[in-house]
Every structure is written in structure tokens, then in C-alpha cells.
Amino acid sequence: MPVNVMSELPASERTPPPGFFALPMGLGFNDAFAPVYINIDGADWNCGFFVEQHHLNPQGVCHGGVLMSFIDLAMAGAIGHYINNMMGMFTTNMTVDFIAKGNEGDWLHFEIDHIHTTRLLGTISGRIMGPGGLVARANGTFRLPKSNNDTPAAVA
């Protein structure tokens, strides 16, 4: 298992991979586990975070609820980027399989396996990867935002 040198640095000195920037604060619940970093490169949407003290459960590893919240944010963001509309997405279903733990200091990031949209729904599958490999895999279904004429947003 590779050593994560970032975990040895204080939280204030950890930097995400090149191209990632922190989501702004003031986005509601997302602030509870901030900072979350994103990287948008054309059609690609990437999202990640460092496991910090406030993400840990009593056993000292990343709490499953933090992982699920991060997955929800990452999947909704990826679909929003895909349809070019980041607002008004609602999670209708999400399943998560927890595979391995995330330790304090680990850089965890979401990788998209598949996105499909219809007029009303977006479905996505992906996984959280850490320094040791697969941490969790997930599938989600999201109700797409409505457009200005109160009909679901058009999807290319």
C-alpha cells in the first residue's frame, strides 16, 4: 500500500493535486465537511477532499456519513456539469458499498464510471479512490432541475 505523504503534513499545509480549487464556503451543508476541491477540465468533472479530524468516527477513520455526503455532492456536481445546470438537482436514490477505510490525511477523490440522463432523471455510477485504492463505490439517481418554463431541463 503506498504511503500518503500528505497525511504527515498539518491540514493547513496540504494542497490538492494541480488544477483543483476549493469550493466556496456558504453552500449550506457542504460547509460541514469543507474544504472540498473540484477540477473542471472541459467535459471532465473531478472532486476530492482530504480526510481531516472533523471527518473521523470514534474508530479514527473517515465516517461513512461523510463519505456518503461527499459522494452525493460529487455525483450531483458531475451530472450538473454534464447537463450544464448546477442548480436544483434532487437525489432520489443512492446506494453505496464501503470497501476500505479512509485515514486522516488521505486524499480521497471521486471517479465517474458512467453518466446517463433522460428528460427527467440523471443516473451515475462511480467510486471513491484513496491512496490505497478503492474506498467506496456508488450509484445514484437524481431528479434533474426544471428550466424556466417549468418543464425539466433539456439534455443534449
Q: What is the pTM of this model?
A: 0.85
Tell me whether residue 94 is in a domain: yes
Total structural domains within the chain: 1
The enclosing domain of 43 has a CATH number of 3.10.129.10
Q: For the residues 141-152, what does the mean pLDDT come to? A: 70
- Digit-coded pLDDT (tens) for 60-73: 999 999 999 999 99
Closest CA to 60 of 103, 92, 6: 103
In sequence order, which residues have a C-beta less than 8 Å from that of residue 18 and are 6 or more positions away?
none
Is 14 a domain residue? no
Q: Does 151 score more than 50 pLDDT?
A: no
Sheet holding 133-143, edge to edge: 21-22, 37-41, 44-50, 107-117, 121-130, 133-143, 90-98
The chain-wide mean pLDDT, for the chain, equals 86
pLDDT digits (tens, 9 = 90+) for 100-146: 999 999 999 999 999 999 989 999 999 999 999 999 999 999 999 87
